[in-house]
Structure 1
Amino acid sequence: MNDKSIKILVLCLLIFGLFLGAYESVWRQGAKKVTSNELSLNRESNEVYLEIIWDASGSMWGRDYGIEKIIKSKEILKTFAAEIDHDINLGLRIFGARRVGDLEDSFLALPFNKNNTEAVINFIANVKPLGKSPIAYSLKKAVEDLTAVNGQKYIMLVSDGIDNGAIPPKEVVKELKDNNIILHVVHIGELENDKIKTRLKEMVSLTGGNYYTYHNHREVIPTFKQ
């Protein structure tokens, strides 16, 4: 091998060495980013996300022991907002409040936020019962809301349990289970209706949740601190 060939070989080795050094540096930076993202995801997994589904359908004008169900449900939400842990990402979905006869009248009034408690109280103040009661449709939409976040996921349905939507609520339970979403129900009125009560209890038990009423609704609050 002549001197010229040796010089070319040495030059090639130097260039290759520089390339390896640069590649290692890029690889290390990439590894740091991946590790950082993994740590971030782990931190996010400790977050708690709770979506309240509030029944503002026409049936909430009905009375429960002489008091309109809508008044009782607002009292529950006010108590809940005042006592819930402020580290919880709270969202509010409402159904039956905007249009008469609409089986898809369900909207996310307040997206998830840790500072939503006062906003919940202010938002519900002027809401009046109006339309249909698409419980299952609202649950499906809540699943969509919750699959977009990473953490412990809950739904709290505050309703009289009367569902005149197009989708049977039982069909949504599998979606809740598949997405690790726990459903709690606070049942307002219609407590003598065994069919409604049984259906609600079955739904929550299948997702690992609990059934509550107006009289013991405060007991649901500690479940979001576990």
Structure 2
Amino acid sequence: MVNHHQDSATAPLGPPGTSLSCSQLGQEGASMTTRAGAAAGVLIASLATSTAADGIGATMLILDGSGSMWGQIEDQTKIEIARESVGRMLADWPEDRDVGLMAYGHRSEGDCDDIETLMAPGPLDIRAAEAEMADVSPRGKTPIGASVRTAAEAVGPGGSVIVVTDGLENCGADLCELGVDLADDGAGLTAHVIGFDVADTDGQLACLAETTGGRFLPASDAASLSGALQEVSAPVPSEPLFVDEFERDNLGDDWTVDHPNPSGFILDDGALITMTVQPGYMGDAADQPNIFRWTEATFPEGDWDISADFTSRMGEVQSLGGRRAIVQVGRYRDVDNHISVYVFRQGNSNDDLWLRLRAVSGGTETRAEVEIAGDIRGYDLAQILRDFEEKGARLTISKRGRDYVGRLEMDGWTMQEGGPEVIETDPIQVLRTSGDPALFAGTLGSEQTVAEFDRIEITGVD
């Protein structure tokens, strides 16, 4: 968990600076590259079995101990990232959900039967789990199929499996056939598979997921693994409590526009279209025009998601920087009390693009952020900007207890070849938030930013 606290009066929107590790507090705008919940090369099998009392099933975490786990991602071994990531996941584990721990490939080389249950499913003992993971030393093979079968037998029928792996099956199992067997045996098991930095050339990983009714999600780094894990392991939202798809001619009484400039927005063809009328952003200044507050909608008392679907024209790539564009969704009361997640095009010489979650409570700021495009390998910023304009994306804030996470979900496209389609920030902890659901799109420069919001919704999460 990464928190960044400072007085909002001295903390303008950007630009972000040098990247820091997740344990460090950055200076103004410092990057906090997310690893929350990410597990490079981890195989996490979650088999949720129904219980008579509450229907909450057990989960088996299976740690990939194959030799490839000594590979490095951004100067850190995969096994180290795996231990950190699983530890972070367990730190937020629900008290009423049993969990176990398995590992494979960690005791001998070339042994496809090297699968060990380190902790049987039961109430979480996080210190014991961390101690067991610390003793896993990669050396062996990658028996994905046998591990999933073993985990299924240990936990029982009626749930799901989440597989995150940095390699392909190399012990002879046919994962497609395994998926068919699991689907046909009447246990109702669903397998989700996350492939980290691995080319699923023969489609085996995807087949295991799809034949059991699950999802296959590619991921390329710790941040994208975090998003993928959130997608397949997060609590299932209920039906939205409030939805607005803007299918009318004007906002009406359901919305309040702070300091409205009618020349800067319009409802047209099922979208709220807004463009910059004054440089700034939601939370920047008390008189910021065209902050759209959904005053008719309310947040539930417990956990919730607020999401907005949008397309946005953020400008073109230029030789020396570009447009400083921003698209936000959040909860807004005033400049001293709000929380928002936003895509922010920095417009500096590197022309970086960031996902940021920023909360201000009583004038004190907390933030977490991740660079999603820019001066890093594998990104075509020009294509990304076109995809934001033509295909669109979804911005979400998820509240779980006192933790808040910002998430960006692309609509059928990715920042780079092979994924990810979901990117999220580290969680930040806020004791309470207040205010209305809110939308904003703007810039910090002289060039206009045009955004179209097609839908906003609030969902309660059990």
Q: For 1:108, which of 102, 117, 137 is the aligned residue? A: 117
User: Is the 1:72–1:188 Cα contact (8 Å) retained in structure 2?
Assistant: no
Question: Secondary structure, in 3 states, of the residue corresponding to 1:209?
Answer: coil
The structure with the greater share of residues assigned to strand is 2
Question: Unaligned 5+ residue runs, structure 2?
Answer: 1-49, 237-460
Q: For 2:130, which of 121, 127, 131 is the aligned residue? A: 121
For residues 49 and 42 of structure 1, the distance between their equivalents in structure 2, rounded to whole angstroms, comes to 9
Q: State the 1:137 CA deviation.
A: 1.1
| Structure 1 counterpart of 2:211 | 206
| Structure 2 counterpart of 1:30 | none
The structure with the greater share of residues assigned to helix is 1
For residues 208 and 82 of structure 1, the distance between their equivalents in structure 2, rounded to whole angstroms, comes to 29
User: Is the 1:54–1:158 Cα contact (8 Å) retained in structure 2?
Assistant: no
5 Å-filtered alignment, 1:87-98, equals: 87-98=96-107
Question: Secondary structure, in 3 states, of the residue corresponding to 1:104?
Answer: coil
Tell me which moved more, 77-86 or 45-54: 45-54
Structure 1 residue ranges, 4+ long, deviating more than 6 angstroms after superposition: none
User: Is the 2:143–2:171 Cα contact (8 Å) retained in structure 1?
Assistant: yes
For residues 208 and 223 of structure 1, the distance between their equivalents in structure 2, rounded to whole angstroms, comes to 18
Q: State the 1:194 CA deviation.
A: 4.2
Question: Secondary structure, in 3 states, of the residue corresponding to 1:75?
Answer: helix
| Structure 2 counterpart of 1:62 | 71
Q: Deviations over 1:164-196 (max 9, x none)?
A: 112222221123323212223343332xx2417
Task: State the superposition RMSD in angstroms.
Answer: 2.6
User: Is the 2:178–2:208 Cα contact (8 Å) retained in structure 1?
Assistant: no
| Structure 1 counterpart of 2:175 | 169
TM-score, length of structure 1 as denominator length: 0.69
User: Is the 1:160–1:188 Cα contact (8 Å) retained in structure 2?
Assistant: yes
5 Å-filtered alignment, 1:18-167, equals: 43-44=52-53, 46-147=55-156, 152-167=158-173
The structure number with the bigger radius of gyration is 1
For residues 82 and 130 of structure 2, the distance between their equivalents in structure 1, rounded to whole angstroms, comes to 12
Aligned CA distance change for structure 1 residues 116 and 182 (closer, same or farther; 3 Å): farther
User: Is the 1:139–1:172 Cα contact (8 Å) retained in structure 2?
Assistant: no
User: Is the 2:61–2:100 Cα contact (8 Å) retained in structure 1?
Assistant: yes
User: Is the 1:53–1:158 Cα contact (8 Å) retained in structure 2?
Assistant: no
- The one-letter code of the counterpart of 1:43 is A
Q: State the 1:45 CA deviation.
A: 6.7
Question: Secondary structure, in 3 states, of the residue corresponding to 2:234?
Answer: helix
- Ranked by relative contact order (alpha carbons within 8 Å, sequence separation 6 or more), the top structure is 1
Question: Unaligned 5+ residue runs, structure 1?
Answer: 1-40
Tell me which moved more, 94-103 or 56-65: 56-65
Q: State the 1:78 CA deviation.
A: 1.2
Of all paired residues, the percent bearing the same amino acid is 26
| Number of positions where the alignment pairs a residue of Structure 1 with one of Structure 2 | 180
| Structure 2 counterpart of 1:185 | 193
